[in-house]
Structure 1
Amino acid sequence: MSSITTPRKKKSNSVCFVCLNPTDSHRIAFNEKKCVDVDFVEKLFFICKTDGVKRILKFEDANICRNCFSKVLNTFDFIHKTNENIEQFVSTCVKRAAFSPLTPKSFYCNVNNNNMSTDSQSLPTSRSRKLTKRLAFSDITNESEYDPIPTSTTTTTSEAEVNDHDHSYTSFQKSTQARMILENSDLLTDISNRFTSFCSQGSFLTDLREQSLSLTSRTVMFSSVLHKYRKADDLHENSDHLITAIVKEMMTRVPLLLDAMLCVAVPNSNIIPASIIPSLATCYSILLKLRYNNLSAFHRMVSAITLKGGLNDRGQARLNYLGMTLSCERRLQFQESISLSSENLIIDKLKFNPLIKITGDNLDVYIKASQLFTDKRNKDLHMFASNVIFSRIARMDMDIESPNVDVNSIQAADVLLSSYQQEQLLDVYGVLIGRIMSKLPGMKFLKSHLSLHVPHQYSKKMAEKSTVIPLPILFSNETKHEDCLDIMDSYESQLTSLFTAAFGSLEILRKFKVPVGGDQLTRVRLQEAKNLRTLSVSPEKKFDDLSPIVCEMWHSKQDFLEKCYKALYKVENTPGTLHYFKTILHRNDVNGKVKGRFKPHHELLVAVGEGMIREQILEFCNMECEDDIPQHIKLEGFDKLKDFDKREVLTKLIREFLIFYGYGNVHLGGHIMSENQEIDELQNYCSNLCHWALHLIELDDTAKEGDMSRLLLNCRYSIPFFYSHSALSKYLVENIDFIIKTEYLLSPLQKLRVLEGSFVNVRGGVAQNVESDLVQEHSVCNQKSLIKSLGANKTEKAISRITRAADMISSICDKFDKTVNLKPKGSRHSKCISETDTQIISKSLRKLRPFKFTNGRKCNGFNNIKSLPLSKSKVPMMKDRMNLIIRRLTNGQAVLFDEQEAPEIDEENSSDYLPDI
């Protein structure tokens, strides 16, 4: 039986015809199946295009090595793909690279129209972009010129000319595009002919054109206000009077244009409404921007308004088509200019005042996907926003030496109110009680003897307007330690860059440092991050330049209000309780959860608290109603006294009132009324609420005045209120930490920087201060609203750009509202409480008489409630807990707190419930 030989693939010993390599590597013949399957010969011919190559390769004994075989296939794929991409790129219009149907058409008319004036063709205009023809790939080599506007004889338009845009807000049907181009072409031709006609004739229109010629000048002396205020800083500073400045410019520089507009706009009654001023400014600004593109201050202001209002890209494109806003590209450049101006402004301010403070807060945005997939889900964006606050009082020549204090000697008594400090607090409480007294109709005569403001050492300085500038947003989550390290590193990097640009070195930064503030979570996390770098070598890595890190006061006040509602708000609708007044006043937005709805809870507690204090005054002064004359013995013959004696009598009367009802004694505990076998629960409940409400009013007034001495008194007196809720209260720890740092550990300069940095005056004026972290909260809300307006374009670059511009955009809008006297419209109350609600509260309390002792009177839901937030039996335990907290804080150790406390609530409309600034 003969053996069968397995067929083997024939190998040629000839060289590869491409590389001519004579090696013995495997070669492939062109008539083999491997070449035929991939159509190798056709691809090779497409590359080299040599005549006769197909016949030679197929019928000659030609071979190719595997290396060259792969290179030829890859080369063919590259050339083929390149041709396809180029053809697609040329034949398809990309964003901002070609004419958009929503963009106003060019002023240029048909090039075949010989009637076009040479002067008009040379005019600079924002709409003077020539149309770009969408060419097919085969038309690249054609050198024929493209007529920018089709003539009326053109009846068809190629597909390449009207190809759809790739961005949504310019997607029109092809037939619609062609029709719009044709219609506008005829209209522009008619306009051009009319312009040429009146230019050739001597008329007042020629004088008007000569008047407007100087408005396009770039020199400061002759330039228009639309050019002077176009920069971000100038627009921000002058947006409150830009409208009036535009109209005044019309009156002085182009009176003919103003006269023509008035002839058309003034009604037949010849009564000119106030709304004509912004209308004239709008028309004038739109016309001048057509004349010269850089006259865009008004358009930048309108673009800021649309951004603040959350108008989407399509809506802004529509307004741009009407000539009222900037184009998409210019709008992005405007936002970038704001970011750049913020950094330059910080550097310029640092050169004159290097004493700054940084506040920071988390910025969380929940993004819902339009469609849910495994790789596309709803997600949370966790970011961190910061502001720089410049000092108003602190100076570089102040003492920077820290006091030599033995931290182990600090006890609870050093943190609580001393007897002298208690007297100071009662003096301030007396002013607040006097204001409430003077609101009673029967005691209005006391108003002239009361001070409108509580003066303090730095009253004038704190009335000055503060400088607050936002820092770039950080894409870090403050709940993670590694991200907190990134936040601190970013702070160090930014401060190093800013101080180097301002002074050329870091000597001033190393000497004076920068305090950092935030809420409780921010203070704890950033302090822990700093502790992690204690053993680092360089000052930057140790975060030595960021010191101290403190908690700010608005979040402390918010938690104070939260603790009050947890203690005194329950669903039992007992007359005289918070829930009862919430029901009869129809305050449906009050639910007991303060965080996220601060303002309605604050308004209700202050309104009910003041009503109960008025009821206390009626009982104390033996008045049957608010209109009665007070019958207290100290007020007998009051009208016959001199002014000095009247103030002294009034002071003694108020002090007696405070002592009688036990105000200022919460840290001592105990009962303020005589003990009985049975207690009056309703009286105790109302007395308890008055203590919370009066101290909340004190916190508000301290913030308005920017009084740093009262700030420390309030922190000391707030401690027993927080402890009455829980020994593990977070802000119990924060108030103790704040007092220890400012009273015992910091130098006089650093102490003053921390205290004055707790308040910000964004408007300027007496009693216009607010807490610095409240300003930070408003910045976060402004940034959050603009981030949501980005739609699907929530990239890091877009978010950084829009958030840097958020505060300035918001400020521009606020100033515009004041200019046109535009009142805010919303569902929230413009006043804390109306007169009608005040009367309802007063009548209800007068009927209940809660401060007239009734033995055994009950208050459902508040069994055995005490008249003070803290009972005397708990005072020793409070001091023991405070000593433990002090020891751990001074040793740099973490302090345990209640993890079950309510977290910050980020509601969609939480910005509506923030106090105004």
Structure 2
Amino acid sequence: MLHSSNFDFRISPDPQTIDCLRNGHFGSIDLEPGLSHTVGPAGDAGSIDKTDINDTVIPENAGKVSSGVKRPTTDDHSYMNQKGQNASASNSNDHEYSCHLYTEEEEEDDEDVNFLCHDRMKDLLKMLNLKSNTDYDYASMLRMCSQTDLSEQDIFMGIIQEMKTRCPHLLETLVSVCVKDETKVNLRQITSVAVAYSCLMFARNNKNSGIQRCITMLAVKGDANDEFIRRLNRMSLSLSCSGKLRILDKAVIASHNMLVEAIRTNPLMKITGDNLDMYIRTNHQRTDNSNQDIHWFASNAFFTRLNYQNLPENTPEVRLKDIDAEMFVLNESETLKLNDVQKVLIGRLLCDRDEYQWLKNKLPQHIPHRYKIQSKYREKNEITPVLNGMGNTDVLDKYGVVLGGDMLTRERLQNAKNITYLAPTPKGRFEHLSPVTCELWHVKQDLLSKAYKALFKSDSLGECGTLFHMKTALRRNDVNGNVKSNYKAHEELFLLIVKALIHIASDEIKDCREQNRDIVLSSVFSKIYGLGYSTDDYVYNYFTNLLTWGMQIVNMNDTAKEGDMERLIMNMKENAAFFYSHSAMSKYFSECINTILQVDHLSSPHMKMRQLEGAFINTKGGNGKNKEADLVQEHAIRNQKDLIRGLGANKTENGSRRASSSADIIHRIGDNIDHLLNIPKLTTSHAKKTSSKDLEIAINILNKVQPFNYVKGRQFESFKTIAKNPKLVVQKKDLVHAIQKKIQRLFLNS
């Protein structure tokens, strides 16, 4: 029988019990009155050595490891109260047990853990000649560096500099250990010296925790669980689990302070926002502890790079009848400019062919525009978890805040302003939060979605060269027509086919060797758009239609990279025609018209430039490094969700808020460490090779169709009457009339 006295379990050599343990027959074993215990493959009894079962004794507290929660001794399945009752069954408030966050000293002095290492510690002390000294009791930078310093400064250089000043003999010793050949010294060796010094200083005084805070942050970013962090802490490589919570709280404060300081120095700010949706499941559901479906609003603040001091801030007084709908359609000069841009983009797609490599030297690396110099500067952005508690907001009231997001976000914010329209104060009417604009990446996403709806049909699987056929031939299983489910995969396939078609069209250019850029690009441009050909070859029409959609996506990508504010409005006019031709009820048709209306007609010159500049964010610095503001917002939300997932099961709302609010500073620390250690971004090693192979396959398939050889009456069964140009499905007068109706509604809501 299994006897118990003060929870000290001893196993007597009972034949029946031994047989059960040896043969794996586990079940309920009777204990003393008032106690019951279940053993099994995952329980304590299941881990007993069967070869020495008769002499096995489980010592008191031997299996107890502190987790920061004060509880009686437990097994792997449940814990018992002092009366011997199963607490999970007898105590309905077990989730309300108070949790005590240990300090670093308390966790290190945990008797339960030290009990296991007591004998080893004695042996180690005998081997060492210990002497107390105060040589290293100085104010180390490891103690004084803040979260902001860790995200911006070179902590490794600072450590080496401190060692050179404070303890040069230790620096010399550590360098001599890690450097074998003084002529071959690398960054890893110097970093090892800094980390070794940090571990020693942390072991001496756990306040010297600069590197440990970095490693803890990186562990949190990498979804490390508490067990892993606890092991690192025992090796002086990271903070404890309770220390992790404290630095996350400090990271939230640091993010808040950075935002406040940024607003003080530059009050011209734009905020982008999007939904942060989560579904949190709990392991033990109660009436007051059930699953949660959370919908939060995450936002980022971006600060201007341009100087607006000389631009007037007076809002023009515009009447509805003064707004001409014709101004929302591309005029002749704008059309010519976009055609020239597309010719350059076509040339870039041809440069990787051997016979067109000469084009590289004859094409601009960056398409010039008026604000090319300003757009290359790195832009400062901050996460804005909560705007409450920021102190005096008079600066924001004076300069206003531009708001941006996807269509749903814009509608919600605009409707919130409409509801408070009759409030007695400007602040109550949210007048400082204006204008509210729709962002470009979501427009591009919906544009690609419309292209797939028009050209991607499962019925066309057997029709060689169609989008669905190419998806199957190239084994792109992640392309299913739902662009929002996987935007990158859908865009890559679409642009791969665009590139293949342009390569095929260039094969028929006979004078490519003459190296006349304008003649070659004009010839390819005419070929892919079917200029001079009739519209009764519907196979030709299909591929021309696909190229029209695809080149607009390429154009929008380049506009975003260059931060080209001049091209932005032209793209919006072009997109409006695409959306309306696809559906007169298109929601993003309204968003395109609203953007043009806000920028060109209802805003002051000062606010117009703030809207245009705020559409693009340069987080790295340099020409061609800009991104859409809402795409940066999507990346920020992804970082926040990654940290929230790392919390594991039974997430709390406070824990989720802590993780999401500290995501920005954690991400910055990670990027800074990657930069200091020269760690490249993770990429697929064979991405270029795979793309080249897929391009070759696509060209071979499309050559069978001969897409640019005009044959009257050709057609695909799934696309019998497809138009050559998707924008010309509707007449211009119908488009202008629809724009006029949208202007009337949007003007009244503005």
* 1:274–1:438 distance in 2 versus 1, CA, 3 Å: same
Secondary structure at the residue paired with 1:195?
coil
* 1:657–1:792 distance in 2 versus 1, CA, 3 Å: closer
- Name the counterpart of 1:795: 652
1:840, distance to aligned residue in structure 2 (A): 2.1
Measure the CA separation in 1 of the matches of 2:431 and 2:99: 51
- Name the counterpart of 2:276: 363
**How is 1:322-471 mapped onto 2 (pairs within 5 angstroms)?**
322-371=235-284, 376-471=289-384
Measure the CA separation in 2 of the matches of 1:754 and 1:854: 48
Larger radius of gyration between Structure 1 and Structure 2: 1
- Name the counterpart of 1:547: 434
1:247, distance to aligned residue in structure 2 (A): 4.9
Map Cα deviations across residues 711-755 of structure 1 (whole Å, 9 max, x no partner). 111001111211222111111110100000000000001011111
Is 1:587 paired with 2:476? yes
**How is 1:79-228 mapped onto 2 (pairs within 5 angstroms)?**
177=113, 179-180=115-116, 182-183=118-119, 186-187=122-123, 189-190=125-126, 194-196=129-131, 210=135, 213=136, 216-218=137-139, 223-224=140-141, 226-227=142-143
Measure the CA separation in 2 of the matches of 1:439 and 1:271: 39
- Conserved? CA contact 1:93–1:165, under 8 Å: no
- Name the counterpart of 2:217: 304
Identity of aligned residues (%): 35
Measure the CA separation in 1 of the matches of 2:172 and 2:342: 61
Is 1:556 paired with 2:443? yes
Point out the more displaced range, 287-296 or 555-564: 287-296
Measure the CA separation in 2 of the matches of 1:773 and 1:337: 27
- Conserved? CA contact 1:95–1:165, under 8 Å: no
**Residue identity opposite 1:605 in structure 2:** F
Is 1:751 paired with 2:664? no
**Residue identity opposite 2:440 in structure 1:** M
Is 1:630 paired with 2:512? yes
- Conserved? CA contact 2:259–2:384, under 8 Å: no
Measure the CA separation in 2 of the matches of 1:260 and 1:804: 42
Secondary structure at the residue paired with 1:359?
strand
Measure the CA separation in 2 of the matches of 1:171 and 1:246: 27
Measure the CA separation in 1 of the matches of 2:619 and 2:323: 37
- Name the counterpart of 2:577: 720
Map Cα deviations across residues 29-78 of structure 1 (whole Å, 9 max, x no partner). xxxxxxxxxxxxxxxxxxxxxxxxxxxxxxxxxxxxxxxxxxxxxxxxxx
Secondary structure at the residue paired with 2:428?
helix
* 1:448–1:166 distance in 2 versus 1, CA, 3 Å: closer
Measure the CA separation in 2 of the matches of 1:734 and 1:290: 59
**One of 780, 786, 804 as aligned partner of 2:643:** 786
**How is 1:418-817 mapped onto 2 (pairs within 5 angstroms)?**
418-472=331-385, 497-500=390-393, 506=394, 508-571=395-458, 572-573=460-461, 574-619=463-508, 621-622=509-510, 630=512, 635=514, 650-651=517-518, 653-655=520-522, 657-659=524-526, 661-662=528-529, 672=531, 674-675=533-534, 679-792=536-649, 794-817=651-674
- Conserved? CA contact 1:93–1:166, under 8 Å: no
1:248, distance to aligned residue in structure 2 (A): 6.1
**Residue identity opposite 1:431 in structure 2:** V
**Residue identity opposite 1:520 in structure 2:** M
**Residue identity opposite 1:451 in structure 2:** P
RMSD: 3.5
**Residue identity opposite 1:651 in structure 2:** D
**Residue identity opposite 1:844 in structure 2:** I
Measure the CA separation in 1 of the matches of 2:455 and 2:293: 35
Secondary structure at the residue paired with 1:451?
coil
Measure the CA separation in 2 of the matches of 1:832 and 1:543: 53
1:836, distance to aligned residue in structure 2 (A): 1.8
1:443, distance to aligned residue in structure 2 (A): 1.8
Measure the CA separation in 2 of the matches of 1:618 and 1:400: 54
- Name the counterpart of 1:84: none
Measure the CA separation in 2 of the matches of 1:97 and 1:854: 78
Secondary structure at the residue paired with 1:590?
coil
Map Cα deviations across residues 88-123 of structure 1 (whole Å, 9 max, x no partner). xxxx9997699999xxxxxxxxxxxxxxxxxxxxxx
Secondary structure at the residue paired with 2:300?
strand
1:189, distance to aligned residue in structure 2 (A): 4.7
Measure the CA separation in 2 of the matches of 1:781 and 1:842: 36
Secondary structure at the residue paired with 2:725?
coil
* 1:815–1:604 distance in 2 versus 1, CA, 3 Å: farther
Q: Name the count of aligned residue pairs.
A: 659
* 1:756–1:745 distance in 2 versus 1, CA, 3 Å: same
* 1:388–1:166 distance in 2 versus 1, CA, 3 Å: closer
* 1:300–1:830 distance in 2 versus 1, CA, 3 Å: farther
- Conserved? CA contact 1:760–1:771, under 8 Å: yes
- Name the counterpart of 2:32: none
Relative contact order higher in (CA < 8 Å, ≥ 6 apart)? 2
Measure the CA separation in 2 of the matches of 1:795 and 1:396: 47
**Residue identity opposite 1:861 in structure 2:** S
- Conserved? CA contact 1:405–1:745, under 8 Å: yes
- Name the counterpart of 1:237: 152
* 1:379–1:613 distance in 2 versus 1, CA, 3 Å: same
1:581, distance to aligned residue in structure 2 (A): 2.3
Measure the CA separation in 2 of the matches of 1:271 and 1:350: 47
**Residue identity opposite 2:415 in structure 1:** E
* 1:182–1:537 distance in 2 versus 1, CA, 3 Å: same
Point out the more displaced range, 298-307 or 411-420: 411-420
Secondary structure at the residue paired with 1:870?
helix
Secondary structure at the residue paired with 1:834?
helix
- Conserved? CA contact 1:244–1:277, under 8 Å: no
- Conserved? CA contact 1:582–1:588, under 8 Å: yes
* 1:876–1:374 distance in 2 versus 1, CA, 3 Å: farther
**Residue identity opposite 2:151 in structure 1:** H
1:673, distance to aligned residue in structure 2 (A): 5.0
1:427, distance to aligned residue in structure 2 (A): 2.1
**Residue identity opposite 1:559 in structure 2:** D
Is 1:318 paired with 2:231? yes
- Conserved? CA contact 1:432–1:698, under 8 Å: yes
1:406, distance to aligned residue in structure 2 (A): 2.2
* 1:748–1:828 distance in 2 versus 1, CA, 3 Å: farther
TM-score normalised by structure 2 residue count: 0.80
Measure the CA separation in 1 of the matches of 2:201 and 2:259: 33
- Conserved? CA contact 1:350–1:499, under 8 Å: no
- Conserved? CA contact 2:69–2:99, under 8 Å: no
Measure the CA separation in 2 of the matches of 1:510 and 1:165: 44
Which consecutive residues of structure 2, in runs of 5 or more, have no partner in the other structure?
Answer: 1-63, 74-81, 83-96
Point out the more displaced range, 781-790 or 867-876: 867-876
Point out the more displaced range, 446-455 or 252-261: 252-261
Secondary structure at the residue paired with 1:539?
coil
Secondary structure at the residue paired with 1:865?
coil
